[in-house]
Amino acid sequence: MSATAERRAEPRAPALLTAKIIYGENEEFVVDCAVRSTSEHGGRVRSTLPMLPDRFKLLLYKTGELYEAEVAWRGKDELGVKLVGSERLDEQREAPRNLNARRLFSDAVLQGV
Protein backbone atom coordinates (compact mmCIF):
# COMPACT_ATOMS: atom_id res chain seq x y z
CA MET A 1 0.00 0.00 0.00
CA SER A 2 1.36 3.45 -0.90
CA ALA A 3 2.02 6.17 1.67
CA THR A 4 -0.67 8.32 0.04
CA ALA A 5 -3.27 5.57 0.35
CA GLU A 6 -2.34 5.05 4.00
CA ARG A 7 -2.93 8.77 4.78
CA ARG A 8 -6.29 8.85 3.03
CA ALA A 9 -9.24 8.62 5.43
CA GLU A 10 -11.58 7.11 2.81
CA PRO A 11 -10.91 4.76 -0.09
CA ARG A 12 -11.30 6.23 -3.58
CA ALA A 13 -13.09 4.62 -6.50
CA PRO A 14 -11.88 5.15 -10.07
CA ALA A 15 -14.05 7.51 -12.11
CA LEU A 16 -14.09 9.45 -15.35
CA LEU A 17 -16.65 12.22 -14.91
CA THR A 18 -16.98 15.34 -17.05
CA ALA A 19 -17.03 18.40 -14.82
CA LYS A 20 -16.48 22.14 -14.62
CA ILE A 21 -14.50 24.16 -12.11
CA ILE A 22 -16.25 27.45 -11.40
CA TYR A 23 -14.65 30.31 -9.51
CA GLY A 24 -14.41 34.06 -9.20
CA GLU A 25 -16.34 36.63 -7.23
CA ASN A 26 -19.27 36.35 -9.66
CA GLU A 27 -18.49 32.79 -10.79
CA GLU A 28 -17.19 34.30 -14.03
CA PHE A 29 -14.37 31.79 -14.57
CA VAL A 30 -15.21 28.30 -15.85
CA VAL A 31 -12.64 25.57 -16.56
CA ASP A 32 -13.22 22.13 -18.10
CA CYS A 33 -11.94 19.25 -16.01
CA ALA A 34 -12.35 15.54 -15.37
CA VAL A 35 -12.89 13.84 -12.03
CA ARG A 36 -10.61 10.79 -12.07
CA SER A 37 -11.46 9.22 -8.72
CA THR A 38 -13.98 9.85 -5.97
CA SER A 39 -14.62 9.13 -2.33
CA GLU A 40 -17.50 10.16 -0.12
CA HIS A 41 -15.87 13.48 0.79
CA GLY A 42 -13.25 14.11 -1.89
CA GLY A 43 -11.76 13.32 -5.23
CA ARG A 44 -8.94 13.66 -7.72
CA VAL A 45 -9.52 16.26 -10.43
CA ARG A 46 -7.52 16.61 -13.64
CA SER A 47 -7.21 20.07 -15.21
CA THR A 48 -4.71 21.56 -17.62
CA LEU A 49 -4.98 24.98 -15.97
CA PRO A 50 -2.09 25.10 -13.47
CA MET A 51 -3.18 28.01 -11.27
CA LEU A 52 -6.56 27.42 -9.69
CA PRO A 53 -7.75 28.96 -6.42
CA ASP A 54 -7.70 27.04 -3.15
CA ARG A 55 -11.53 27.05 -3.07
CA PHE A 56 -13.91 26.68 -6.00
CA LYS A 57 -17.16 25.06 -7.08
CA LEU A 58 -17.08 21.72 -8.87
CA LEU A 59 -20.03 20.93 -11.16
CA LEU A 60 -20.57 17.25 -12.01
CA TYR A 61 -22.69 16.93 -15.14
CA LYS A 62 -23.65 13.29 -14.61
CA THR A 63 -25.29 13.87 -11.23
CA GLY A 64 -26.26 17.54 -11.47
CA GLU A 65 -24.45 18.22 -8.20
CA LEU A 66 -22.50 21.37 -7.43
CA TYR A 67 -19.86 20.94 -4.75
CA GLU A 68 -17.89 23.44 -2.70
CA ALA A 69 -14.33 22.15 -3.06
CA GLU A 70 -11.12 22.88 -1.15
CA VAL A 71 -7.74 21.91 -2.58
CA ALA A 72 -6.01 19.31 -0.38
CA TRP A 73 -2.97 18.76 -2.61
CA ARG A 74 -1.65 19.84 -6.02
CA GLY A 75 0.21 17.90 -8.71
CA LYS A 76 1.37 18.76 -12.23
CA ASP A 77 -2.09 18.52 -13.82
CA GLU A 78 -4.16 17.12 -10.96
CA LEU A 79 -5.69 18.31 -7.70
CA GLY A 80 -6.86 16.43 -4.67
CA VAL A 81 -10.03 18.07 -3.37
CA LYS A 82 -12.06 17.89 -0.21
CA LEU A 83 -15.80 18.32 -0.86
CA VAL A 84 -17.28 20.44 1.90
CA GLY A 85 -20.84 21.05 0.73
CA SER A 86 -23.17 20.30 -2.16
CA GLU A 87 -26.35 21.33 -3.90
CA ARG A 88 -28.49 19.46 -6.43
CA LEU A 89 -28.97 21.69 -9.47
CA ASP A 90 -31.86 19.67 -10.87
CA GLU A 91 -34.04 20.60 -7.87
CA GLN A 92 -36.25 23.69 -8.03
CA ARG A 93 -35.62 26.44 -5.51
CA GLU A 94 -37.76 29.47 -4.67
CA ALA A 95 -34.70 31.75 -4.68
CA PRO A 96 -32.20 30.01 -6.92
CA ARG A 97 -28.53 30.30 -6.08
CA ASN A 98 -25.54 29.50 -8.26
CA LEU A 99 -27.19 30.82 -11.41
CA ASN A 100 -24.11 30.41 -13.63
CA ALA A 101 -23.69 26.77 -12.56
CA ARG A 102 -27.41 26.12 -13.17
CA ARG A 103 -27.09 27.63 -16.66
CA LEU A 104 -24.04 25.46 -17.44
CA PHE A 105 -25.85 22.35 -16.18
CA SER A 106 -29.01 23.15 -18.19
CA ASP A 107 -26.94 23.68 -21.35
CA ALA A 108 -25.19 20.34 -20.82
CA VAL A 109 -28.50 18.53 -20.35
CA LEU A 110 -29.85 20.05 -23.56
CA GLN A 111 -26.70 19.00 -25.43
CA GLY A 112 -26.83 15.48 -24.00
CA VAL A 113 -23.49 15.71 -22.18
| pLDDT tens string 7-65 | 566 777 878 899 999 999 888 999 999 999 988 889 999 998 878 999 999 999 888 89
- Distance in angstroms (rounded) separating the CA atoms of residues 74 and 109: 30
The reported pTM is: 0.79
- Please report the domains of the chain, with CATH numbers, ordered by start residue: 3-111 (2.40.10.220)
